[in-house]
Structure 1
Amino acid sequence: MQLKRVVVTGLGALTPIGNNIQEYWEGLKNGKSGCAPITYYDTEKFKTKFACELKNYDPSEYFDRKEVRKLDRFAQYALVSSDEAIKDSGLDLDALDKFRVGVIWGAGIGGLETFQTEVLNYAAGDGTPRFNPFFIPKMIADIAPGNISIKYGFMGPNYTTVSACASSANAMIDALNYIRLGHCDVIVTGGSEAAVTIAGMGGFNAMHALSTRNDSPETASRPFDATRDGFVLGEGAGGLILEEYEHAKARGAKIYAEVAGGGLSSDAHHMTAPHPEGIGVVRVMENCLKDAGIDPSEVDAINTHGTSTPLGDVAELKAIAQVFGDHAPDININSTKSMTGHLLGAAGAIEAIASILAMEHGVVPPTINHSTVDETIDPRLNLTLNKAQEREVRVAMSNTFGFGGHNACILFKKIS
């Protein structure tokens, strides 16, 4: 069977460093930190008092009051970013066969704030279960793609992928496969998350997963730095329009990049810690390269998972050195989480978008906040430290890994 080619024709972003694609790109290339003290609740008793919240986000700019009451923030973010992507794609919605348009979306947690609010309200009451009738439909992770499909009338495959922080990368790979197997012409994909809440921050603090650099939050996310002490929680969404190549070409669409391939693997090692030698990461990148038919020597840039955790950063860079060998020093390696923080289930989407924009503009965004060399990291590697670097990017890889050992890798290339 001849697989169909799949391309990216639309992008949308809602991130801690920009509320649309243009703002996001400006933040990325200028090395902007999205981290600041938390404004959503009183952090006095919390170990970590900062996060990468959205800035200047007002739901009333996108939804009426009735809609806001029905939508958890993670679903709001999904609708905002997917709407930007759909508009950016230039799709004529009336001309589409909507049975061949799907929505595959990633969310690692879903409506955590809604769950938290309802349980706290119940606990503060007299024991009578007076729950909001929107509690369940606001909370469930699959409601984001459900709402997108309802808004536009898309009647193809519609579901959420949940694989912790790899969720939106899994969604994009599923979307790639549905289209190249001929089942769909267009799929809206990506991911969203809104876990900067009492429960989210408290839970990750209990795991000792978060940075506690409260004296300097803007520099707390510092991937690859010897003084890194955990990740910084972020929120937001990224949306992409994936489209069958001939379908896009026939309508004269702008094509950002081709989705060359995707790979998946499992560490099968630990609930939260990566395999120290990066065995699963080696395999997922090899699987991705094989699926794409791309030689390792062709890869120009890798947006790493790079969360700023002591174990994870080293394991991933070991794996890159193993997979790419002598070519590894020629690759621009970066971690945009140094700017956005870790968006959990939305991380794969916004980082894939960063890779695509790097290809479009010929600029690799920096890994910011690096000041102290980690002697355990191969010094030959170009980690794109502190300043964006100009170069032609013809092939870009994006890595995303999740608690439970879920590894996902996606590869983009310039269209030819």
Structure 2
Amino acid sequence: MGRRVVVTGIGLVTPLGNDLSTVWRSLAELRHGVRPIDSFECSHLPVRIAAHVKERADCSAFKSIQRDTPDFIRFALCAARDAVADAQCLDEMRREPTRAGVAVGVGMSSIPEILDASRLIESAPRGYRKVTPYFVPRVLPNLAAGHVAIEFGLQGPNHAASTACAAGAHAIGDSFRMVKYGDADIMLAGGSEAAINAVSIAGFTKIRALASSFNDAAMCGLASRPFDVKREGFVMGEGAGILVLEELDSAKARGARIYCELVGYGMSGDAYHITAPSPQGVGARQAMLAAMREGGVSCGDVGYVNAHATSTPLGDEIEGSAIAHVFYGSDEKKQAREQSGSPLYVSSTKGAVGHLLGAAGAVEAAFTCMALHTKQVPPTLNFEESDVVYPFEIVAGAARTVALRVALSNSFGFGGTNASLCMKHYESGTA
């Protein structure tokens, strides 16, 4: 059966802010983190907006940091520091460091580092001598996890998922299993990404993935519009999210505050296309059903789905159809939903923070934890009208107060990789 796993700490670095209370309040207040790009020259690019992290947190206290350490590592360290402080688990990790581990998903690593090294090599016959000896540690995707492990002395599992936009969710799901089956008692798990640069913007633009009609400051906040009929692509975001996953009895023994219980993890592959999801959303369905199956919950138990929905015309429609099939696809499922006494609520928080790529699944898992903890479903920013009629309710306009018991968080990535996390509201004394 395995052990029960709970979330006892949350750390965030996002375009809405770098602390949990500010970010959660901003979501409810319909704020967004999208603005014109000013960190590099982009006037020649068709997309000139992004969801940047607004405030760079102080990293001077981190012992493994160097002056030019890439932001994807810095973001992970800051989010991990705040998650550990939130969970108040530092003494616990230091007491048994071999029972504490880390998993941080990263999608794209540090492209500017690679470009800079290439220019140095090409600048002169022996230009390679100018390449920093820190080059490789700065571009390896697993070095975010490596730095976190060094910072906190974590000698348990040290893991990094690199599964595109599902990386953060996979890192959390893998960590959930590590705690559940005894490989660790505490895991710092999540994702980090800092891929807003000219090359990434150009690449995603070439595959028509980005919104390109909202480039001025007055309009940029309307660019990310999941499920809306006017959606045309996603807005690139950056940041990190780290959760503290802990074995329940250990958390209870030290009186930890528990946000929610993580009960299920589903994975699947589309085996269809390198960038497009399968037309019927079969992989998305399989991931959601697998997460619910492991969690021992039925379709009628789930009250909220934090959708991956990135604001692309194809992806949002296919995920919406997959959710509809999973929860309303038969008379039995429709009856279960009717018996639950409330509709299924769905929202995508990417309307506010953009698409954080490898960090998206982690930040959205944190939002799902908070929805269960506070009984507030965060709204979908910029959703006005759908081009498809769905049986579920897309939450928009304001946060919704709902007596949530179970929720899912979906994350899907290029290459047809899918992940779904199933979480439950935790009440002391529940079996």
| TM, length-normalised to structure 2 | 0.92
Question: CA offsets, 1:128-168, max 9 Å, x none?
Answer: 21211111101110101111111111101102111100001
Match of 2:195 in 1: 195
Q: Are the counterparts in 2 of residues 165 and 345 from structure 1 also a CA contact under 8 Å?
A: yes
Equivalent positions of 1:331-410 (< 5 A) are: 331-371=344-384, 373-378=385-390, 380-410=391-421
Query: 2 CA distance for matches of 1:183 and 1:292?
Result: 19
Of 405-414 and 203-212, the range deviating more from structure 2: 203-212
Query: 1 CA distance for matches of 2:36 and 2:62?
Result: 27
* SS in structure 2 of the partner of residue 392 of structure 1: coil
* SS in structure 1 of the partner of residue 266 of structure 2: strand
Structure 1 pair 265–21 and aligned structure 2 pair: CA distance change class (3 A): same
Question: CA offsets, 1:234-293, max 9 Å, x none?
Answer: 000001000111111111111111101110001111000011211111111111111111
* SS in structure 1 of the partner of residue 211 of structure 2: coil
* SS in structure 2 of the partner of residue 166 of structure 1: helix
Q: Are the counterparts in 2 of residues 16 and 340 from structure 1 also a CA contact under 8 Å?
A: yes
Offset of residue 180 of structure 1: 0.8
Offset of residue 26 of structure 1: 1.1
Match of 1:3 in 2: 2
Aligned partner of 2:271 among 262, 268, 272: 268
Does the alignment pair 1:252 with 2:255? yes
Offset of residue 60 of structure 1: 5.4
Partner AA of 2:311 in structure 1? S
Offset of residue 386 of structure 1: 2.5
Match of 1:289 in 2: 292
Gaps of 5+ in 2: 329-333
Q: Give the aligned CA root-mean-square deviation in angstroms.
A: 1.7
Query: 2 CA distance for matches of 1:24 and 1:279?
Result: 33
* SS in structure 1 of the partner of residue 85 of structure 2: helix
Match of 2:331 in 1: none
Query: 2 CA distance for matches of 1:58 and 1:82?
Result: 12
| TM, length-normalised to structure 1 | 0.95
Structure 1 pair 274–293 and aligned structure 2 pair: CA distance change class (3 A): same
Structure 1 pair 6–120 and aligned structure 2 pair: CA distance change class (3 A): same
Q: Are the counterparts in 2 of residues 234 and 341 from structure 1 also a CA contact under 8 Å?
A: yes
* SS in structure 2 of the partner of residue 69 of structure 1: coil
* SS in structure 1 of the partner of residue 101 of structure 2: strand
Does the alignment pair 1:51 with 2:50? yes
Match of 2:88 in 1: 90
Of 302-311 and 203-212, the range deviating more from structure 2: 203-212
Q: Are the counterparts in 2 of residues 62 and 80 from structure 1 also a CA contact under 8 Å?
A: no
* SS in structure 1 of the partner of residue 189 of structure 2: strand
Of 105-114 and 282-291, the range deviating more from structure 2: 105-114
Partner AA of 1:55 in structure 2? K
Match of 1:75 in 2: 73
Query: 1 CA distance for matches of 2:26 and 2:112?
Result: 27
Offset of residue 124 of structure 1: 4.8
Q: Are the counterparts in 2 of residues 364 and 389 from structure 1 also a CA contact under 8 Å?
A: yes
Q: Are the counterparts in 1 of residues 107 and 163 from structure 2 also a CA contact under 8 Å?
A: yes
Partner AA of 2:6 in structure 1? V
Question: CA offsets, 1:325-363, max 9 Å, x none?
Answer: 123971110000000000000001000000111111111
Match of 1:224 in 2: 227
Match of 2:314 in 1: 311
Partner AA of 2:88 in structure 1? G
* SS in structure 2 of the partner of residue 32 of structure 1: coil
* SS in structure 1 of the partner of residue 179 of structure 2: helix
Query: 2 CA distance for matches of 1:125 and 1:390?
Result: 63
Query: 1 CA distance for matches of 2:310 and 2:112?
Result: 23
* SS in structure 1 of the partner of residue 67 of structure 2: helix
Q: Are the counterparts in 1 of residues 93 and 99 from structure 2 also a CA contact under 8 Å?
A: no
Structure 1 pair 36–121 and aligned structure 2 pair: CA distance change class (3 A): farther
Query: 2 CA distance for matches of 1:280 and 1:230?
Result: 21
Offset of residue 376 of structure 1: 2.5
Does the alignment pair 1:40 with 2:53? no
Query: 2 CA distance for matches of 1:45 and 1:126?
Result: 31
Structure 1 pair 211–126 and aligned structure 2 pair: CA distance change class (3 A): farther
Of 355-364 and 127-136, the range deviating more from structure 2: 127-136
Offset of residue 73 of structure 1: 0.5
Structure 1 pair 121–387 and aligned structure 2 pair: CA distance change class (3 A): farther
* SS in structure 2 of the partner of residue 7 of structure 1: strand
Of 310-319 and 358-367, the range deviating more from structure 2: 358-367
Offset of residue 304 of structure 1: 0.1
Q: Are the counterparts in 2 of residues 31 and 368 from structure 1 also a CA contact under 8 Å?
A: yes
Q: Are the counterparts in 2 of residues 196 and 234 from structure 1 also a CA contact under 8 Å?
A: yes
Offset of residue 374 of structure 1: 3.0
Of 263-272 and 94-103, the range deviating more from structure 2: 94-103
Query: 2 CA distance for matches of 1:365 and 1:284?
Result: 22
Partner AA of 1:399 in structure 2? N
* SS in structure 2 of the partner of residue 118 of structure 1: helix
Equivalent positions of 1:117-136 (< 5 A) are: 117-124=116-123, 128-129=127-128, 130-136=130-136
Partner AA of 2:300 in structure 1? S
Query: 2 CA distance for matches of 1:200 and 1:348?
Result: 19
Query: 1 CA distance for matches of 2:58 and 2:195?
Result: 17
Partner AA of 1:409 in structure 2? S
Q: Are the counterparts in 1 of residues 59 and 74 from structure 2 also a CA contact under 8 Å?
A: no
Aligned length: 412
Query: 2 CA distance for matches of 1:59 and 1:133?
Result: 24
Q: Are the counterparts in 2 of residues 116 and 199 from structure 1 also a CA contact under 8 Å?
A: no
Match of 2:207 in 1: 207
Does the alignment pair 1:150 with 2:150? yes
Equivalent positions of 1:9-48 (< 5 A) are: 9-48=8-47
* SS in structure 2 of the partner of residue 196 of structure 1: coil
Structure 1 pair 128–95 and aligned structure 2 pair: CA distance change class (3 A): closer
Q: Are the counterparts in 2 of residues 167 and 191 from structure 1 also a CA contact under 8 Å?
A: yes
Query: 2 CA distance for matches of 1:87 and 1:261?
Result: 26
Query: 1 CA distance for matches of 2:65 and 2:8?
Result: 28
Q: Are the counterparts in 2 of residues 193 and 345 from structure 1 also a CA contact under 8 Å?
A: yes
